[in-house]
Structure 1
Amino acid sequence: MEPTERRVLVVEDERAIADAVAARLRAEGFAVEIAGDGPAAVEAARTGRPDVVVLDVMLPGFDGLEVCRRIQAERPVPVLMLTARGDETDLLVGLAVGADDYMAKPFSMRELAARVHALVRRASKISSVGEKTPSAIRLGDLEINQAERRVLRAGVEAHLTPTEFDLLVHLAGRPRTVVPRERLLAEVWGWADASGTRTVDSHIKALRRKLGADLIRTVHGVGYALEVDR
């Protein structure tokens, strides 16, 4: 379990849902703050500096996508986005503005807590990366600078979310090798089950949009492979 000082900001305008999520996360050892609209969420993220944000898409004031855009512009923070519709367009836009993961309502409190724990672990791992990290991976026209967490393809920089970057690095560590979606979930997201394979698919789509549709090959029913020269 993560230390008690880990802070989670829950942004949800339906008070019953917000209270239920907050209660579960407090039981998991997190300190939790609740915001009920877009402007309040941005201010709470600025002043409270949470370790993770659980963010509903539909909010008064301005929506969760704008909240995510604004808080990520000030300070990178892991965001778990909640959506009632599960609409693919909303999901891709959410990933583009800096969300790391998403869950469609209705959701399991157990699964939500597990995903928040996984985001905290991944953020801690990223912040502890030191000089041991290889400075760069070069595969064809793809260059990944792990120390600076920057990616270029054909000399053009692509701005990736933390999850997109970690997913790309994982695939780049085994180029042209098909990696099952379940393995990606376990090793990139830190999930113990395979209930979120659509999350992998959405992040792959975001990587293709930012780096080129030819970069990652789909092996239907299995997983994905990075298609670049060694």
Structure 2
Amino acid sequence: MFGGTILLVDDEKEIIDLLEIYLKNEGYRLLKASDGAEALELLNTNDVDLIILDVMMPNMDGIQACMKIREEKHMPIIMLSAKGREIDKITGLSIGADDYVTKPFSPLEILARVKSQLRRYRQLNVSPSKNDNEMIIDDLVINIATHKVTVDQNEVRLTPREFSILEVLARNRGIVLSMEQIYEEVWNEPFFEANNTLMVHIRKIREKIEKDPSKPQYIKTVWGIGYTIE
């Protein structure tokens, strides 16, 4: 049984050892690093399916590492942090993380999140039939097979989570989807009213695909309901 390769990045050996036990039992191959710089070196020489990345580390912290990784790579990133404030979570998600887990955590929770992220990521990278290969909305082109997005023929780099959100909206073009519908479709978990995670991701997508994010051409807000691509 081989579930994929996971890169664990944390300077706390106890956390690495604990997660290693649970993840190896599920058939995952593990790579381990104690800081962001070491993680980047491993990424240059190994194929990695998912990264579990601690925020607070010496030399290069998780925030710096995440931004550097997102310059070229699109695999899911789950951030770990002892900081549980909403602003800290928003920061992590804004710079490219797909999920954010606060310490202390349950290893079973991490395992569930890993499976959810990998399942979604792999679904997006399964090549569909040629007829369904691309969704074209004016100058926005979304290629499901290659996970590639272009605007005016210029490639836009989206994280796996951002791509999932955009895909859900594009597949339901002309339909207003509630925040709850989008969240539960993409995250595969219940939505809570106080959860601002989706709003953060929508803002980041707009910053990447819209000429003027304050006056979006593609992703429209329907106040009191949710979002739509017209």
- Aligned residue for 1:209? 207
1:1-230 matches, within 5 Å, as 3-73=1-71, 75-86=73-84, 91=89, 94-95=92-93, 97-132=95-130, 134-153=132-151, 157-189=155-187, 191-194=188-191, 197-210=195-208, 211=210, 212-213=213-214, 214=216, 215-217=219-221, 219-220=223-224, 224-228=226-230
Code of the aligned partner of 1:186? E
1:175 Cα deviation (Å)?
A: 2.8
CA contact (8 A) 2:56 2:81 kept: yes
Looking at structure 2, the residues matched to 151 and 184 of structure 1 have their Cα atoms a distance apart, in angstroms, of 19
How far apart are the structure 2 equivalents of 1:197 and 1:89?
Answer: 12
Q: 1:197 to 1:24 in 2, by over 3 A?
A: farther
Counterpart residue type for residue 216 of structure 1: K
Report the alpha carbon displacement of residue 18 of structure 1 after superposing the two structures with TM.
Answer: 2.4
Judged with a 3 Å threshold, the aligned counterparts in structure 2 of structure 1 residues 140 and 182 are, in CA distance, closer, same or farther, namely same
- Which moves more between the two structures, 141-150 or 157-166? 141-150
Per-residue CA deviation, residues 87-118 of structure 1 (Å, 9 max, x unaligned), is 56655554455432222333333222111001
Q: Separation in 1 of the partners of 2:140 and 2:205? A: 13
Kept in 2: contact 1:101–1:199 (CA 8 A):
no
Cα distance change, pair 71–141 in 1 and its aligned pair in 2 (3 A): closer
TM-score normalised by length of structure 2: 0.79
Q: Sort the Cα spacing of 1:200 and 1:106 in 2 relative to 1 into closer, same or farther, 3 A.
A: farther
* % identical equivalent positions: 34
CA distance 1:133–1:12, shift in 2 (3 Å): farther
TM superposition score normalised by structure 1: 0.79
CA distance in 2, matches of 1:106, 1:133: 46
Compute the displacement of 1:52 (Å): 0.9
Distance 2:229 2:124 in 1: 25
* Amino acid in structure 2 at the alignment position of 1:122: R
Q: CA–CA distance in 2 between the matches of 1:154 and 1:88?
A: 35
| Matched residue type, 2:106 | S
Compared CA separation, residues 25 and 69, structure 1 to 2 (3 A): same
Cα distance between partner residues in 1 of 2:84 and 2:178? 23
Preserved contact between residue 52 and residue 78 of structure 2 (Cα < 8 Å): yes
In structure 2, C-alpha distance between the alignment counterparts of 1:155 and 1:4, rounded to whole Å: 38
Counterpart residue identity of residue 194, structure 1: F
Question: Aligned Cα RMSD in Å?
Answer: 3.0
In the alignment, structure 2 segments of 5+ residues that lack a partner are: none
Shift of 1:58: 1.6
SS in 2 for 1:7: strand
Q: Does structure 2 retain, via aligned residues, the 8 Å contact 1:7–1:52? A: yes
Q: How many residues align?
A: 223
